Amino acid sequence: MLKEYRGVSNITGPLMLIEGVEGAKYEELVEIILPDGSKRKGRVLEVERDKALVQVFEGTTGVDIDKTRVRFLGRGIEMYLSPDILGKVFTGLGTPRTENDKIIPEKRLDINGAPINPYARDYPTEFIQTGISAIDGLNTLVRGQKLPIFSGSGLPHNRIAAQIARQSTVLGEKEAFAVVFVAIGITFEEAEYFISDFRKTGAIERAVLILNLADDPAIERIATPRVGLTCAEYLAFEKDMHVLVILTDMTNYCEALKEVSAARKEVPGRRGYPGYLYTDLATIYERAGRIKGKKGSITLIPVLTMPEDDKTHPIPDLTGYITEGQIILSRSLYKKKVSPPIDVLPSLSRLKDKGIGKGKTREDHADLFNQLYAAYARGKEVQELSAILGEAALTEMDKLYSRFAEEFEARYVSQGEYENRSIENTLDLGWKLLSMFPREELKRVRDEYLDKYWTKFRREREEIEEEKGKVVAGGEYVMEREGV
Amino acid sequence: MEIRDDMEKKGRIVKVAGPLVVAENMTGSKMFDVVYVSEKRLMGEIIELKGDLASIQVYEETGGIGVGEPVYLTRKPLTVELGPGIIESIYDGIQRPLNIIYEKVGDFITRGVHLPALDREKKWEFEPLVQKGDIVAPGDYLGFVQETTLIKHYIMVPPGISGKVKDIRKGNFTVEEVVAVIETQHGDTEISMIQRWPVRTPRPYVEKLAPNTSLFTGQRVIDMFFPIAKGGTACVPGPFGSGKTVIQHQLAKWADAEVIVYIGCGERGNEMTDVLLEFPELVDPKSGEPLMKRTILIANTSNMPVAAREASVYTGVTIGEYFRDMGYSVAIMADSTSRWAEAMREISGRLEEMPGEEGYPAYLGARIASFYERAGLVKCLSGKNLSGQNDRIGALSIIGAVSPPGGDLSDPVVQATLRVVKVFWSLEDQLAYRRHFPAISWLNSYSLYIENISEYVKKNVATDYFDLQTEAMRILEEEAELEEIVRLVGIDALSSQDRLTLLAARMIREDFLHQNAFHEVDTYSSVEKQYKMINTIIYFYNKARDYLQLGADIKAIENMKVRDRIARMKYVPQSELNRIDDIKKEIDTEMSSLIEE
């Protein structure tokens, strides 16, 4: 029989202090019974002699000191699991949202998980085709990677995340695939966008939804991503599925963490966030990956909105130090109607080198990537320069680079929300754009690939230009006639 | 650390807050003693004593631990096991063997796993180097074990023991079996191949020497511009995505040290996997053996317990010192020391200590300094003249990555590190965006070892090595100034001479400094190759300057065909280096044709 305690002595923010407790454990799950009989959940943050400090997930509104009773459950927060979780909706604490979402559990797992032994990890090398050129061609995603989207408020990060979830495939394979969608403090509308998109494409059947919406308890958000990842680990490493996890929006998670830290009066690190934010985020992000000898994988796409679009803000900064690259969205590209507005230069996929090349994408991918990147970077530099000095200061070659940068944004980065480009298309598109340069400019590409690809696309370009040339010449001829 | 049943059960837990546990009834225990917490026997270390209360940092997750549970004492500080079997291992921050944990408990690290760091079953062939009756002193070789094809693992007399060899055995032994008996003043001491050493105490040596040889790394920007010496210290600070880890991996792969200790401290799990999968495949350019045969990995990834992360750098450096004592040149990569500092900050916060800058403890600078100070070129502990063995020199170099928030170099960890290290490789995200890798800024970085090693380089590579470097640096610095002017008035306003400087600077940047870590040839550049490359570029520059004066057109020089060959020098394999020498002739012919026209 579990003991019930009445000794609540102190309530501050989301925390309550209970005295006269015996045998409470650190991280233990606590049930709080309010005077009106309703129940809430909490977690032990600290035990000291006969005192226990408890963080209440649903907030402390309505909790009193005299009548509230507390019961220590002797276990951590657990998620009930079975293969039936696919297609179901859960709250941020992992309880079913409606009657229909109840399952008969096969097992239950502590949501904190355990760290993967680095020796047990398998290196992610399988290319995932997302159908988005700026990702596939330049910031290639691989199975088991954690690749966040750094966005800002008002930018279309959710549409990109949904497009990735919709279009992701591994070339030449048909394998069990699942999506775990974790909403952390986002609005109903944003969540509904994903759900209706999943419903439209039928993905809902193989999706687990964990929803903590903007009006749900804020402190619950500390548990929400962990609930989602526990589902993902179960599906990936016990049920052999390839799982794509979308966490949106991690900024809300960090805010909740800050709130608890402030209530505990901890010494803050940068900008009021707790000093252990890095470690805490790592225990979430590092749960992505592959394990030797297991078929399944967890690919993680956390979405976060950078306060004031500032990449050096602690949330994106610490995230970038843990994740394997980042996709950064740019407000200025979005204003220029480039969509998806992926800012290619600061974006990065650290695992791309092992996921591209012969047998995975195509032999020329790495060199092509380097060249496109270098050319675009130089083009952007030239554009900046011409903004200061005027176009007259540019050399012919500079002008070519500037034109390249424009076309690159308009044709390569930009693409429709439902446009699914194959990797072949993406790579060829890159060559099409590069063919505007003379061969000597393409220093980053091996000769053999220049022979094979540049020559081909250069010829095509010349043919097209010749065609155009004829038309233009013809037009002038007509005008001359008219003039006469 | 071994776990024994007869451990003294003494303390009682009164508080649990994250990785910090406070226990009472702990009188008699010492600071930094190892204890085991609760019946789960989680390992921890005492970091504060107040009356009979002890604060313990626990190296494993403390979830489920409560007040009233027992604490077991060992009365010993945190030690590492040193002996054959250590090379090619992968350990966590407190030297638990991760490969064996994987075999025993599976994919995830569960709590309370206690396994010895060195294999107790395996037999090693011990070859004695001393004879009965020899007089030996601490540090002297007793014999060796050929541990891997690259490493002869010398068994040394442990510190504190000296006397006459009473018995020495040849044959196959496990690490715990006795291989020698030494008759000391206090009686006979049995010596096995295993040694234990407390991680927070530097291992002894006779004296420190000033570093005087280069640690060549095969990375052009490092060896040519900002070299590190054997026994030296370096730091690589930079924002995320600027290539810190790639540089650390490159150094671990190609640095001409004999033993590499790679500490993954609070970083990504997949990076360690990368090393584990890649190193056995890569071949050491000198010996032709797999690189893993000289490597030890310490992996305490970011999701593993934070207190063990704090210990991981000490574990790594102690293992490094042990091989240094054998007379090897050891290089330690610590990636990243910022995570180590953050672990200190977290523990300090839980202890409710008064914080210093950015919440870091006030002793941050002292801890960082004493860590880097364990590097050095030393005369190893060895009983000189007593046994007739020669004096050995060992070197321990430390290269630490620093991950300042937002790449901001005013970060306390960066500043504390810069105060002690002698080489600074400043990574810039602007260079990384332009895909100029390694993104080491040539304007901000520095090396204070050039003086120390110049004799060595002049003797072993070329007498004008550093003259060429000075000239190249001058060109790059001039470029930075000229670029300001170009930005204001455009390139046409420059004189031909200045435009040539810009051209040469661009060639140095793109054709020399830029190095592709993922290209099979370019990933490693021998120091002869580096010399030939820079020599060719400077030769081109000097020739072009002469020809400009003779009336050649700068545009023609800019469009010279030979530039393409210069750009492709980096892809010339080591066996065909004379192809680089030929380029000079081509420069001569093409230049002279410029004038004729």
Peptide bond into B438 cis (omega under 30): yes
Q: All domains of chain B, ordered by start, with CATH?
A: 8-77 (2.40.30.20), 82-101+205-448 (3.40.50.300), 121-193 (2.40.50.100), 465-596 (1.10.1140.10)
- The pLDDT of B110-136, averaged and rounded, is 91
Whether the Cβ atoms of residue A251 and residue A309 lie closer than 8 Å to each other: no
- State how far the alpha carbon of B371 is from the alpha carbons of A58, A125, B454, B563, in Å: 45, 36, 27, 46
First to last CA, chain B: 79
Report yes or no on A197 lying in a domain.
Answer: yes
B103 — contact with chain A (CB < 8 Å)? no
Q: Please indicate, yes or no, whether residues A132 and A247 belong to a single structural domain of this protein.
A: yes
Query: Which residues of A fall within a CB distance of 8 Å from B63?
Result: 25-27, 76, 110, 112
| CA-based nearest distance A131→chain B, Å | 24
A483 occurs within a structural domain? no
**Set of chain B residues whose Cβ sits within 8 Å of the Cβ of A27:** 62-64
Answer with the one of A53, A72, A91 that is the final residue of a domain.
Answer: A72
- Shared domain for A181 and A262, answered yes or no, is yes
- What is the pLDDT at residue B490? 74
Q: If you average pLDDT over residues B75-103, what whole number do you get? A: 94
A contact test, residue of B25, B247, B302, B434 with most A CBs within 10 A:
B302
Report residue B113's pLDDT band, with 50, 70 and 90 as the boundaries: confident
Domain co-membership, A431 together with A294:
no
Grouping H, G, I as helix, E, B as strand and the rest as coil, residue B264 is: strand
Chain B nearest CA to A21, separation (Å): 10
**Confidence label for B596 from pLDDT (cuts 50, 70 and 90):** low
Say if residue A479's pLDDT is above 50: no
pLDDT value for A175: 80
Q: Over pLDDT 90: what percentage of chain A?
A: 70
Which residues in chain B have their CB less than 8 angstroms from residue A28's CB?
Answer: 64, 66
Interface test with A, best of B20, B91, B101, B107 (most A CBs within 10 A): B107
Binning pLDDT at 50, 70 and 90, where does residue A481 land? very low
Q: Is B10 helix (H, G, I), strand (E, B) or coil?
A: strand
Same domain for A54 and A88, yes or no, is no
Parent domain of A85: 78-355
Chains A, B: CB contacts within 8 A come to: 200
A49 → closest Cβ in B14, B269, B435: B14
Measure CB to CB from residue B16 to each of A46, A312, A321 and give the nearest one.
A46
pLDDT for the residue numbered B222: 96
Both tokens of A49, joined, read 């002699």
A211, pLDDT greater than 70 = yes
Closest Cα partner for A22 from A42, A3, A43, A44? A3
Determine the average pLDDT of the residues in B345-369. 90
- What span, in angstroms and rounded, lies between the C-alpha atoms of A227 and A224? 5
Does the beta-carbon distance from B349 to A267 stay under 8 Å? yes
Indicate whether A94 and A211 sit together in one domain: yes
The answer to whether position A480 is within a domain reads: no
Least confident of A170-179, A423-432, B141-150, B325-334: A170-179
Q: Indicate yes or no: CB of B16 within 8 angstroms of CB of A114.
A: no
Res A410 pLDDT > 90? yes
Q: What is the mean pLDDT of residues B116-123?
A: 94
Q: What is the dihedral of CA B368, B369, B370, B375, to 10 degrees?
A: 100
Question: Is A400 inside any structural domain?
Answer: yes
* A 30-49 residues inside an 8 A Cβ radius of B: 45-49
Q: What one-letter code names the amino acid at A112?
A: N
Token pair 């370019």 is at which residue?
B522
| Residue A192, domain CATH | 3.40.50.12240
Residues paired with B164 in a beta bridge: B135, B183
Q: Is the pLDDT of residue B5 over 70?
A: no
Supply the pTM of this predicted model. 0.91
Q: What residues of chain B lie within 8 A of the CB of A311, using their CB? A: 406
The answer to whether the CB of A286 falls within 8 A of the CB of A232 is no
Select the residue from B61, B100, B268 to test the A interface by mutation, using most A Cβ atoms within 10 A. Answer: B268
CB-CB: which of B108, B359, B564 is closest to A267?
B359
* Cβ–Cβ contact B487 with A under 8 A: yes
pLDDT at residue A470 is higher than 70: no
Q: Who has greater pLDDT, A80 or B243?
A: A80
CA atoms within 13 A on the CB side of B571: 13
**Do A36 and A89 sit in the same domain of this protein?**
no
Please give, rounded to a whole number of angstroms, the shortest distance from the CA of B309 to a CA of chain A: 11
What residues of B are in contact with residue A294 (Cβ under 8 Å)?
A: 107
Enclosing H/E stretch for B83: none
Residue ending a domain, among A304, A329, A355, is A355
What is the model's pLDDT at position A473? Answer: 47
A285 and A222 in a common domain: yes
Question: Using the beta-carbon criterion (under 8 Å), do A24 and B429 form an inter-chain contact?
Answer: no
Indicate if the pLDDT at residue B338 is higher than 50.
Answer: yes
Q: A347 and A244 in one domain?
A: yes
Same domain for A86 and A38: no
The predicted-structure confidence for A304-359, as pLDDT tens digits, reads as follows: 999 999 988 999 999 998 999 999 999 999 999 998 999 999 899 989 888 899 88
CA B53 distance to own-chain centroid? 38
Rounded distance, CA B239 to CA B232, Å? 24
Over its C-alpha atoms, chain A yields an Rg (Å, rounded) of 27
Q: Name residue B183's beta-bridge partners.
A: B164, B188
The answer to whether the CB atoms of B17 and A119 lie below 8 A apart is: no
Residues 6+ apart with CB under 8 A from B189: B161, B163, B181, B182
User: Does the beta carbon of A318 lie under 8 angstroms from any beta carbon of chain B?
Assistant: yes
In a domain, residue A14? The reply is yes
* B389 pLDDT above the threshold of 60: no
What pLDDT does A185 receive?
94
Q: Which residue of B has its CA nearest to A120?
A: B107
Q: Which pLDDT value is given to residue B358?
A: 84
Kindly report the backbone phi and psi dihedral angles of residue B532, in degrees, each rounded to the nearest multiple of 5, phi listed first. -65, -40
Q: Residue B568's closest chain A neighbor by CA?
A: A443
Interface test with A, best of B103, B110, B240 (most A CBs within 10 A): B240
pLDDT category, B383, cuts 50, 70, 90?
Answer: low
Mean pLDDT of A158-162: 91
Which stretches of A202-336 are DSSP H helices? 224-233, 250-263, 277-285, 314-322, 331-335
Query: Looking at the domain assignment, is residue A157 inside a domain?
Result: yes
A357 near B CB under 8 A: no
Of A25, A325, A346, the CB nearest to B65: A25
Confidence check: pLDDT of A477 > 70 = no
The pLDDT tens digits for B238-273 are 888 888 889 999 999 999 999 999 999 988 989 888
Q: Would you say residue A431 has pLDDT above 90?
A: yes
User: Is residue A360 in a domain?
Assistant: no
How far apart CA B360 and CA B338 sit, in angstroms, is 11
Q: Are residues A84 and A226 in the same domain?
A: yes
Q: What is the CATH number of the domain that holds A435?
A: 1.10.1140
B273 in A contact zone (CB under 8 Å): yes
Enumerate the residues of chain B whose CB falls inside 8 A of the CB of residue A315: none
What is the reported pLDDT for A116? 93
Angle CA(A35)–CA(A41)–CA(A42) in degrees, nearest 5?
110
Specify the higher pLDDT residue, B364 or A390.
B364
Specify the pLDDT at position A344.
93
Mean pLDDT of B528-553: 94
Please give the residue of chain B at the shortest CA–CA distance from A317: B406
Contact B107 A294 (CB under 8 A): yes
**A107 found inside a domain:** yes
Top-confidence residue, B6 or A414: A414
DSSP β-bridge partners for residue B447: B423
Helix (H, G, I), strand (E, B) or coil at A115: coil
What's the pLDDT tens digit per position in B130-157? 999 998 889 999 999 999 999 999 999 9
- Over residues B455-506, the pLDDT tens digits come to 999 999 999 999 999 999 999 999 999 988 887 777 778 899 999 999 999 9
Residue of B nearest to A440 (CA): B564
Chain A, residues 116-145, CB within 8 A of chain B, namely: 116-124, 144
Going by pLDDT thresholds of 50, 70 and 90, the confidence category of residue A1 is low
- Would you place residue A3 in the very low, low, confident or very high pLDDT band (cuts 50, 70, 90)? confident
A residues 424-443 lying closer than 8 A (beta carbon) to B: 440, 443
Residue A73 contacts B, CB cutoff 8 Å: no
Residues A455, A392, single domain; the answer is yes
Are the beta carbons of A289 and B272 separated by less than 8 Å?
no
Q: What does the block give as tokens for B318?
A: 């102690």
Interface of B with A in 346-365 (CB under 8 A): 346, 349, 355, 358-359
Q: Residue B69: what are its φ and ψ, rounded to 5°?
A: -75, 155
pLDDT-based confidence at residue B434 (cuts at 50, 70, 90): confident
Inter-chain touch B435–A370, beta carbons under 8 Å: yes
Omega before residue B336 within 30° of 0, cis: yes
Please give the pLDDT value at position B429: 84
Give per-residue pLDDT as tens, A347-384. Answer: 999 898 888 998 889 999 999 998 999 899 889 989 98
Identity of the residue in B65, B101, B355 whose CB atom sits nearest the CB atom of A117: B101
User: How many helices (H) and strands (E) are present in chain A, helices listed first?
Assistant: 14, 22
Q: What percent of chain B has pLDDT over 90?
A: 74
Angle, alpha carbons A201-A205-A210 (nearest 5°):
105
CA-to-CA distance for B262 and B260, rounded, in angstroms? 6
User: Please, what is the average pLDDT of chain B?
Assistant: 91
Per-residue pLDDT tens digits for A101-144: 999 999 999 999 999 999 999 999 999 999 999 999 999 999 99
Tell which A residues from 149 to 208 touch B, by Cβ distance under 8 Å: none
pLDDT in tens, B567-583: 989 999 999 999 999 99
Q: What is the pLDDT of residues B38-72, one digit of tens each?
A: 988 999 999 999 999 999 999 988 988 999 999 99
Write down which residue in A322, A355, A388 finishes a domain.
A355
Closest CA to B428 of B410, B438, B441, B437: B441
| Closest alpha carbon within chain B to A237 | B107
Count of the separate structural domains present in chain A: 3
Chain A CB within 8 Å of residue B407 CB = yes
pLDDT-derived band at B6 (thresholds 50, 70, 90) equals low
Chain A residues inside the 8 Å CB shell of B277: 123
Confidence band, pLDDT 50/70/90 cuts, at residue B388? low
List all residues of chain A from 374 to 393 with a beta carbon under 8 Å from chain B: 374, 377-378, 385, 388-389, 393
Question: Hey, of A19, A278, A378, A443, which one would you mutate to test binding to chain B, going by the most B CBs within 10 A of its CB?
Answer: A278
Nearest CA in chain A to B91: A119
Q: B408 and A318 in contact by Cβ < 8 A?
A: no
Q: What pLDDT was estimated at residue B542?
A: 95
Mean pLDDT across the stretch A431-436? 94
| Same-domain status, A261 and A171 | yes
**With a CB-CB cutoff of 8 Å, which residues 523-552 of chain B face chain A?**
none
Residue in chain B closest to A394 (alpha carbons) equals B490
